[in-house]
């Protein structure tokens, strides 16, 4: 099918949400752990975490417009501390379930059976079952005026990951850690490596690393 | 391993790039097609495309600091028109090869064998071999002061995708289209569906769609 701008705008709201969400390709599946100022824990699945830079180590995440109750964003803005935890194939259903609208005061940890894990004096809860646990400090946030989404940028200040999955050059083997991917609004995937490729150079054929 | 902020900052530049790039999880693999004001074509692989919103239909992409020659970003800023094309398992090597630093005047289309495809009067080249072709108009760009990366936001004005891969609710089956994912700087993956899940509600068990 071929759609132009008008075709897209005339799609039903729900169809368009599924369709456009699928178009960017595979997305990361992460759980964001926070606490509010009263110490109540919150956990929320997001597919909008992205790499922003390695030096300093920054990650971005997009939150939908600030119109409904969104504990995670508010907690991040108030406490400036949060965790990002990879979703794996043992907890993908529990992770998805955190997107249900629980009542205020209900913790998604309690409701889904995922286990909060704390490291030293880092204030925000990690997910014990996650194989990649990342602690961040808020560095910047801004509203994207085009659609009122909020871009939150954090600096990575803590990482926990199994030594065996980190290769000599720093590459982390996500398959070994069982990390899953998302497509669209609700489809979860495992991944299978095709190969790693050498840094590309003109006039040299593309070369596999293994 | 457990790393804190200081540990991360003391990693070697190259190791840190591999490591931090891996931490956000699986990333989309896309080719961005552009033309400069003289009509010369450019094609560039990126793993930094992300979904920003469905209404209006927006996609974001992050470009590294504006210090080296970066034709793609310049072309987008000058022509305000570009394409995003999914990388699939038949063209992953050619797609990766577009990241080589070719001389000015060399087209990555010519060098890699990927084929430019034009639709009606849309100015920027699509990739013929891609199964998901998206045409965009620049809507906003800004420099992220924390690390001088540039965030480019475009509105989707054209989509080409096989009807058979678009499901009744608008969900696009990326596996059917052979779209690949990236992890870290250089690892490519195919994906296998675990399942789609129903919209989560409190007190209702997580339910598969199929």
| CB atoms A55 and B13 under 8 Å | yes
User: Does residue A181 have a pLDDT over 80?
Assistant: yes
Distance CA B187, CA A171 (A): 9
pLDDT band at A69 (very low <50, low <70, confident <90, very high): low
Q: Which sign does the torsion angle of CA B178, B182, B183, B189 carry?
A: positive
User: Does residue A66 have a pLDDT over 70?
Assistant: no
User: Does residue B68 have a pLDDT over 70?
Assistant: no
| CB atoms B171 and A149 under 8 Å | no
Query: In this predicted structure, what is the pLDDT of residue A104?
Result: 82
User: Does residue A67 have a pLDDT over 60?
Assistant: no
Compute the 3-state secondary structure of chain B and give helix, strand, coil in percent, each to the nearest 5: 20, 40, 40
| CB atoms B22 and A54 under 8 Å | no
First to last CA, chain B: 38
> Is A201 strand, coil or helix?
coil
Residue A2 domain-assigned (yes or no): no
User: Does residue A18 have a pLDDT over 70?
Assistant: yes
CATH number assigned to the domain comprising residue B185: 2.30.110.10
Report whether A54 contacts B21 (CB < 8 A): yes
Counting Cα atoms < 13 Å in the Cβ hemisphere of B31 gives: 36
Residue A49 domain-assigned (yes or no): yes
Residue B107 domain-assigned (yes or no): yes
**φ/ψ (deg, to 5) at A107:** -95, 135
| CB atoms A170 and B22 under 8 Å | yes
Select from A18, A23, A99 the Cβ nearest to the Cβ of B132.
A23
Q: Is B133 exposed, middle or buried (0-12, 13-18, 19+ CB in 10 A)?
A: buried
A75 Cβ neighbours under 8 A, 6+ residues apart? A34, A35, A36, A42, A82
Query: In this predicted structure, what is the pLDDT of residue B67?
Result: 57
How much is the average pLDDT of A186-192? 98
For residue A170, what is the DSSP state?
A: S
Place of tokens 């009542």: A103
Residue B153 domain-assigned (yes or no): yes
Which among A144, A64, A152 is positioned nearest to B140, based on CA atoms?
A144
Query: In this predicted structure, what is the pLDDT of residue A65?
Result: 75
Place of tokens 């974001």: B60
pLDDT band at A74 (very low <50, low <70, confident <90, very high): very high
Residue A89 domain-assigned (yes or no): yes
Distance CA A89, CA A87 (A): 7
**DSSP letter string over B17-45?**
HHHHHHHT--EE-EEEEEE-TT--EEEEE
Distance from CA of A89 to the nearest CA of B (A): 8
Report whether A94 contacts A114 (CB < 8 A): yes
Distance CA B57, CA A55 (A): 31
Select from A170, A172, A194 the Cβ nearest to the Cβ of B190.
A194
Distance from CA of B72 to the nearest CA of A (A): 17
Select from A92, A159, A192 the Cβ nearest to the Cβ of B192.
A192
| CB atoms A174 and B22 under 8 Å | yes
Q: Which residues of B touch A196 (CB under 8 A)?
A: 184, 186-188
pLDDT in tens, B117-151: 999 999 999 999 999 999 999 999 999 999 999 99
Query: In this predicted structure, what is the pLDDT of residue A123?
Result: 97
Q: Which stretches of A24-128 are DSSP H helices? A: 71-79, 92-97, 108-112
How much is the average pLDDT of B63-91? 90
Distance CA A199, CA B108 (A): 16
pLDDT band at B105 (very low <50, low <70, confident <90, very high): confident
User: Does residue B66 have a pLDDT over 80?
Assistant: no
Distance CA B139, CA A8 (A): 17
Query: In this predicted structure, what is the pLDDT of residue B69?
Result: 62
Residue B168 domain-assigned (yes or no): yes
pLDDT in tens, B160-198: 999 999 999 999 999 999 999 999 999 999 999 999 999
For residue B5, what is the DSSP state?
A: H
Distance from CA of A39 to the nearest CA of B (A): 22
How much is the average pLDDT of B14-43? 97
Query: In this predicted structure, what is the pLDDT of residue B70?
Result: 72
Domain count, chain B: 1
Range of the domain at B76: 21-189
**φ/ψ (deg, to 5) at B81:** -140, 135
Distance from CA of A74 to the nearest CA of B (A): 19
- Pairing type for strands A187-196 and B187-196 reads antiparallel
How much is the average pLDDT of B57-67? 88
> Is A193 strand, coil or helix?
strand
How much is the average pLDDT of B58-65? 94
Query: In this predicted structure, what is the pLDDT of residue A203?
Result: 87
Report whether B143 contacts B42 (CB < 8 A): no
Report whether B181 contacts B191 (CB < 8 A): yes
Query: In this predicted structure, what is the pLDDT of residue B104?
Result: 82
Q: Which residues of B touch A21 (CB under 8 A)?
A: 51, 54
User: Does residue A105 have a pLDDT over 90?
Assistant: no
Distance from CA of B180 to the nearest CA of A (A): 8
Place of tokens 């259903």: A93
Window from A50-59, A102-111, B130-139 with minimum mean pLDDT? A102-111
Distance CA A164, CA B116 (A): 42
Report whether B42 contacts B99 (CB < 8 A): no
Select from B18, B99, B100 the Cβ nearest to the Cβ of A170.
B18
| CB atoms A179 and B57 under 8 Å | no
**φ/ψ (deg, to 5) at A16:** -60, -40
Compute the 3-state secondary structure of chain A and give helix, strand, coil in percent, each to the nearest 5: 20, 40, 40
| Tokens representing residue B22 in the block | 């891996």
Give the mutation candidate from B22, B83, B177, B180 for the A interface (greatest A CB count, under 10 A).
B22
Residue B90 domain-assigned (yes or no): yes
Q: Which residues of B touch A174 (CB under 8 A)?
A: 22, 25-26, 183
Residue B15 domain-assigned (yes or no): no
Distance from CA of A44 to the nearest CA of B (A): 12
Give the mutation candidate from B187, B196, B201, B205 for the A interface (greatest A CB count, under 10 A).
B187
Angle at B9 between CA B8 and CA B15, to 5 degrees: 65
Select from B103, B156, B163 the Cβ nearest to the Cβ of A8.
B156
| CB atoms A23 and B170 under 8 Å | no
């Amino acid at each position: 099918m071929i759609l132009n701008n008008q075709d897209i705008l005339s799609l039903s709201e729900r169809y368009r949400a599924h369709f456009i969400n699928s178009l960017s390709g595979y997305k990361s599946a992460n759980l964001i752990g926070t606490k509010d100022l009263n110490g109540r824990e919150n956990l929320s699945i997001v597919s909008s975490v992205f790499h922003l830079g390695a030096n300093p180590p920054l990650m971005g995440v997009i939150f939908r417009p600030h119109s409904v109750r969104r504990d995670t964003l508010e907690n991040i803005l108030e406490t400036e501390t949060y965790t990002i935890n990879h979703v794996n194939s043992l907890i993908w259903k529990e992770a998805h379930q955190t997107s249900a609208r629980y009542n205020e005061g209900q913790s998604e940890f309690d409701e889904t059976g995922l286990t909060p894990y704390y490291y030293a004096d880092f204030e925000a809860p990690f997910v014990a079952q996650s194989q990649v646990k990342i602690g961040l400090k808020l560095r910047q946030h801004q509203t994207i005026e085009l659609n009122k989404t909020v871009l939150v940028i954090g600096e990575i200040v803590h990482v926990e990951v199994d030594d065996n999955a980190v290769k000599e050059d720093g590459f982390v083997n996500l398959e070994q850690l069982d990390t899953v991917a998302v497509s669209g609004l609700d489809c979860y995937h495992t991944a299978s490596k095709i190969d790693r490729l050498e840094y590309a150079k003109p006039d040299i054929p593309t070369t596999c690393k293994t």
